[in-house]
């Protein structure tokens, strides 16, 4: 097979994983095109609350390594929040313990500490983490990709055999269920309520004693309220009862949320799998197919780490 430097690499999927993988390839000198069924702004990634922290992703050890690699990039991008959409924001990870599962992050996340009772009534960690405004970040990724020579095309793929390139990268998320096909990819439905921000500057994630999720993320001009994690639920229609429950749970943590005007409802389907599939295979015709999907609720968190690994699989000599 000819070197991919002399041919196109086609990345299928334009969520955060697809765009980031394509960008890494393009900035290594590879000619790359992104084929996407949906506009960048209509992908699942556009719905994300987008706090940097591994959530619903396996295997844990690899996810943490990818997350820390991505953290390096996000900290750099946070110097230009207006253009990149990345800010470093303080908040509380509820039901987290520095001495146990979260010790992996202690050496890398400055100021990670146990939260005080004033900050959170339960056990939690206070942290300053990247919080990404996806309405800004996704267009920024696309623009940087185009500046590096990449191309983004709205084009539906029904079969990888129809993708005419020596190297194909599969970043289709939940679409991999039918396209690969891989029945182990399953949706975990998340619903968010977007409200006017009543002055909240910190984020919070919580799982109360009843096991119900509550989280809020301050983004420019709005506050995102969550959340849900409904396994094997496919509906993209917001459920009014679920929305009311989300607002009620968040208001129990910050009472001023109760009166905030609702701006929008969002639903996204997290592409969850028993383990992220990040590997290459040689197709019968000799072409290379690299899989990079199944990131659950942590696609933004691990995007740059996974992109670097996927790019290395796609073009080892680059």
* Residues making up the binding site: 44-45, 157, 172, 270, 296-301
Feature table: binding site for FAD: 44-45, 157, 172, 296-301
Note if the bond before 59 is cis, omega within 30 degrees: yes
Give how far the C-alpha of residue 280 lies from the chain's centroid of Cα atoms, to the nearest Å. 21
CA distance 216 to 142: 27
- Stated as kind and residue range, the H or E segment containing 11 is strand 8-12
Q: Which contiguous run of DSSP H or E holds residue 161? A: none
Rg of the Cα atoms in the chain: 19
Residue with tokens 């609720």: 297
For residue 155, give both structure tokens: 């084009």
Residue stretches of the annotated binding site for D-dopa: 270, 297
Tell me the C-alpha distance between 166 and 300, whole Å: 27
Distance CA 82, CA 68 (A): 23
CB 265 within 8 A of CB 176: no
Spatial CA neighbour of 31 closest among 11, 1, 59: 11
């Amino acid at each position: 097979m000819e070197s991919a430097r002399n041919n196109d690499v086609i990345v299928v999927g334009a969520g955060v994983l697809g765009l980031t993988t394509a960008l890494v390839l393009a900035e290594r000198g590879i000619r790359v095109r992104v084929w996407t069924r949906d506009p960048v702004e209509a992908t699942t990634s556009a719905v994300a609350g987008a706090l940097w922290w591994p959530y619903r992703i396996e295997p844990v050890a690899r996810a943490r390594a990818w997350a820390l690699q991505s953290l390096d990039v996000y900290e750099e991008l946070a110097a230009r929040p207006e253009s990149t959409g990345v800010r470093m924001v303080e908040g509380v990870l509820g039901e987290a313990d520095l001495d146990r599962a979260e010790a992996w992050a202690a050496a890398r996340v400055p100021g990670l500490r146990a939260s005080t009772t004033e900050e959170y009534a339960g056990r939690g960690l206070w942290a300053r983490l990247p919080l990404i405004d996806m309405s800004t970040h996704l267009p920024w990724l696309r623009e940087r990709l185009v500046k590096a020579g990449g191309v983004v095309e709205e084009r539906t793929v029904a079969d990888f055999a129809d993708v005419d390139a020596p190297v194909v990268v599969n970043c289709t998320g939940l679409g991999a269920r039918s396209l690969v096909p891989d029945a182990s990819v399953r949706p975990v439905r998340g619903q968010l309520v977007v409200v006017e921000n009543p002055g909240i500057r910190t984020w919070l994630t919580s799982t109360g004693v009843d096991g119900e999720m509550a989280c809020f993320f301050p983004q420019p001009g709005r506050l995102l309220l969550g959340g849900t994690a409904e396994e094997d639920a496919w509906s993209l229609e917001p459920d009014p009862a679920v929305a009311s429950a989300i607002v009620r749970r968040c208001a129990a943590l910050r009472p001023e949320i109760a009166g905030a005007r609702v701006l929008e409802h969002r639903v996204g389907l997290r592409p969850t799998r028993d383990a992220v599939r990040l590997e290459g295979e040689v197709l019968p015709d000799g072409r290379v197919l690299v899989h990079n999907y199944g990131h659950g609720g942590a696609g933004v968190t691990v995007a740059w780490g996974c992109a670097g690994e996927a790019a290395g699989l796609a073009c080892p000599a680059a």
